[in-house]
Amino acid sequence: MNYLPPPPSPLTGEPKKFDPTFRGPIHNRGCTDIICCILFILAILGYFAVGILAWSQGDPRKVIYPTDSRGQFCGQVDDALALLWGVL
């Protein structure tokens, strides 16, 4: 029994024959991934710099705890008398 390849489809055309002298699509190729990798690393370092600056200069509680309409943190009382009224 001999294997017969399927007939060519009008959408795909004829299959290419094996060429032992074929050496690739382009001979003068260059690497462009290095430039993209360097730009990606610079972007990541920029995000770290912005994060460190925001954490050191800002108030991390504004991210963690919710605030009311007056900008005070919910659930945290600065005044001891207000804490006493909350217990009574």
Taking only the tens place, the pLDDT of each residue in 50-86 is 989 988 888 877 778 888 888 888 776 666 565 555 5
SS3 82: helix
**CA gap 44, 60 in Å, rounded:** 21
Tokens of 49: 């710099």
Residue 50 lies inside a defined structural domain of this protein? yes
Range of the domain at 78: 33-87
Tokens of 81: 């008398």
Residue 81 lies inside a defined structural domain of this protein? yes
The CB-side HSE value for 56 (13 A sphere, CA atoms) comes to 6
Nearest 10 degrees: CA dihedral of 47, 50, 56, 60? -70
| Number of compact structural domains in the chain | 1
pTM of the model: 0.43
**CA gap 64, 60 in Å, rounded:** 7
pLDDT band with cut points at 50, 70 and 90 for residue 44: very high
Residue 51 lies inside a defined structural domain of this protein? yes
Check pLDDT > 80 for residue 35.
Answer: yes
